[in-house]
Amino acid sequence: MKILYVTSEAVPFCKTGGLADVAGSLPPALAEQGAEVAVVLPLYERVRDRFGSQLKFECYDYVDLAWRHNYCGLFSMEKDGVTWYFLDNEQYFSRGTLYGQADDGERFAFFSRAVVRMLDRFKFWPEVVHCNDWQSALVPIYLKDDGVREDRYRSIKTVVTIHNIEYQGRYNPYVLGELFGLDAGWAKDGTMLLDGDANLLKGAILCADAVNAVSPTYANELKMPYFAHRMEGVMRQCSDKLYGVLNGIDMKLYDPRTDERILQGFSAEDMAGKDACKAELQRMVGLREEPHTPIVAMVSRLVSHKGLDLICEVLHDMMELPMQLVVLGTGDQRYEDFFGWAAQQYPGRMSVRMDYNEDLSMAIYAGADLFLMPSKSEPCGLSQMIAMRYGTVPIVRETGGLKDTVQPCESWRDAGNGFSFANYSSGDMLHVIREAVYLYKDYPDVFGRLRQRAMSGDFSWARSAREYLRIYATITGQTWPIHADTRRAAETPKEEPPAEEAAPAVEAAPVEEAAPAVEPTPAEETAPAEETVPAEETAPAVEPAPAAEPVSAEETAPAEETAPAAEPVSAEETAPAEEKAAKKTRKTASKTTSKASKAEKKTEKKTTAKKGTADKKKSAE
Ligand code: GLC
């Protein structure tokens, strides 16, 4: 399978957000599964400065965009089994920042047009072109446009991944011809028109062969007005080609046993290093060195959709709890002002760093106890997965990927890997924070086991890469062997597997096996089985192309909670659902706390010795 991955940023070359992490990890993971992969990016100034000497000049050409006729250089680099291509045009890309320029529309139209123009120059003619967000949304459109005249463009299938639907690339429709070199018909027939604007992402969604959102829950949420930023109709329209593949994290880069960025390594079996990291973090950020006070942490852009208003509402109530708070991030002035002021009120107990600082963020992941992400919406979210890997237990709102990666703690039966609340309400958030803090303080054994479950989750890219390959196989009509050993088996001609065997791994997986990352939770409450099952355990030798099924509400989420996603939702319809969810959170929360004490009583007998030590520590504080 030959895949060209088009992105406007990728680690380690250039990064402004989560897209860069995905684009840096997914292509190598696809290559590891046996796909031929090339990635194409703009050659920004910062890439040239840092990687220029490692780049190989391939060739140059001229790209026609409307009346413009511009130079485009092609550079390349081999890394991690992938060819990374960089498109050069200094006028467009030699700028201090990646985005936020007045001519962004023209810059990324040039980039997209140049990708299509340079197809002949890449190491292969792709079977699939995979684009990301609005910056490369014009690629499927240009392929269709050129496909009318040239057959070979029609053979290419396209995928577009939506990392955050808030950013759509909206322009005055009159610039379609002038800026993008497209016929006005693209807007007139509605393909690229939304609310009177030319909309690049809408065009890509309608033209692509498959559309992917970065988590199953986000894929369903995108059909609701609350999350879709006016695109709910378009998303519902394309639900038969809509998928939700959960992102992964780089499990080697984020490994607490070997990570050299943190003070001392540790693992679920030996947590001594984590205690050292906690003490170090307290020293670094000026918190009191109290080993038995839980540190609640946030590493986040300080912007509204991260749920910061909830924290502003109840910060003082939070600080009444026996906890410390550390916040790292930059963003909107009003939040920076608020957190800066609040930190002064709680010296030694609350610390805020308005910074984007990789080293400090690692010290926080490693040293904190709880990780707070009360996001209003979160397409996938990577920080909660990184935090879990380092034994920092997440407290999240049940939205997007947060809902798919964090299963709420049920202490009475040792299940779950974090804490969560459903309603966007500061009261509900405070309730869950209180529950987490007291579980840490009063039931250290139960908290320890919760932490271990969080640390043992499988958030590897291999799992996501297999899901993507299944999508590529579906749209190209190919049969795709799933992993290396079975791939070898598939190379020797053999008979088609019988019908049941040919069923997708995910379908065949029994529910208990579907969530190895966390403790078994009842089917209704677990994240969708298809996203969590490791294919190694269940995949047949050869994965049949039609295996990948687009996301449907029934398949991917508990019926009661996502029912509105399946059908067009109106505001009146969603309100009762939210109330219901709020009640459910309250119910679960109180159930969890009371059951926690029961469970603890049960385990108490067995662990008297250990508990004795913990109690001693507590009274020593
Ligand atoms: C965007 C989303 C984030 C997601 C990331 C990678 O930044 O806001 O939730 O994890 O893209 O897909």
Residue-wise pLDDT tens digits, 180-223: 999 999 999 999 999 999 999 999 999 999 999 999 999 999 99
Those residues with Cβ within 8 angstroms of residue 10's Cβ, 6 or more apart along the chain or in another chain: 20, 23, 24, 39, 41, 84
Assign 482 a pLDDT band (cuts: 50, 70, 90).
low
Is the C-beta atom of 210 inside 6 A of ligand 1?
A: no
ω into 12 cis (within 30 of 0)? yes
Residue nearest to atom 7 of ligand 1 (CA): 18
Q: Mean pLDDT of all residues in the chain? A: 84
Virtual torsion, Cα 472, 476, 477, 483, nearest 10 deg: -30
- The two most distant CA atoms of the chain are separated, in Å, by 80
Distance separating alpha carbons of residues 85 and 455, to the nearest angstrom: 36
SS3 357: coil
Assign 578 a pLDDT band (cuts: 50, 70, 90).
very low
User: Which of 230-239, 256-265, 508-517 has the weakest average pLDDT?
Assistant: 508-517
Mutate to test the pocket of ligand 1, among 16, 214, 215, 375 (most ligand atoms within 8 A of CB): 214
Distance separating alpha carbons of residues 408 and 526, to the nearest angstrom: 10
Is the C-beta atom of 374 inside 6 A of ligand 1?
A: no
Ligand 1 atom nearest residue 400's Cα: 9
**Backbone phi, psi, residue 175, to 5°:** -90, 0
Predicted confidence (pLDDT) per residue in 172-184, tens digit: 999 999 999 999 9
**How confident is the model at residue 38, as a pLDDT?**
98
pTM over 0.85: no
Written as six digits, the tokens of 388 are: 């879990």
18 Cα to the center of ligand 1, angstroms: 5
Is the C-beta atom of 17 inside 6 A of ligand 1?
A: yes
Mean pLDDT of 524-553: 41
- Cβ pair 293, 370 in contact under 8 A: no
- Write the DSSP string, 36-94: EEEEEEE--HHHHHHHGGG-EEEEEEEEEETTEEEEEEEEEEEETTEEEEEEE-HHHH-
Is the C-beta atom of 367 inside 6 A of ligand 1?
A: no
HEC secondary structure over 536-591: HHHCCCEECHHHCCCCCHHHHCCHHHHHHHHCCCCHHHHHHHHHHHHHHHHHHHHH
For the chain, how big is the Rg over CA atoms in Å? 25
**How confident is the model at residue 7, as a pLDDT?**
98
Mutate to test the pocket of ligand 1, among 215, 247, 303, 459 (most ligand atoms within 8 A of CB): 247
Is the C-beta atom of 380 inside 6 A of ligand 1?
A: yes
Extended beta strands in 89-223, E state: 128-132, 157-162, 170-171, 193-194, 197-199, 210-213
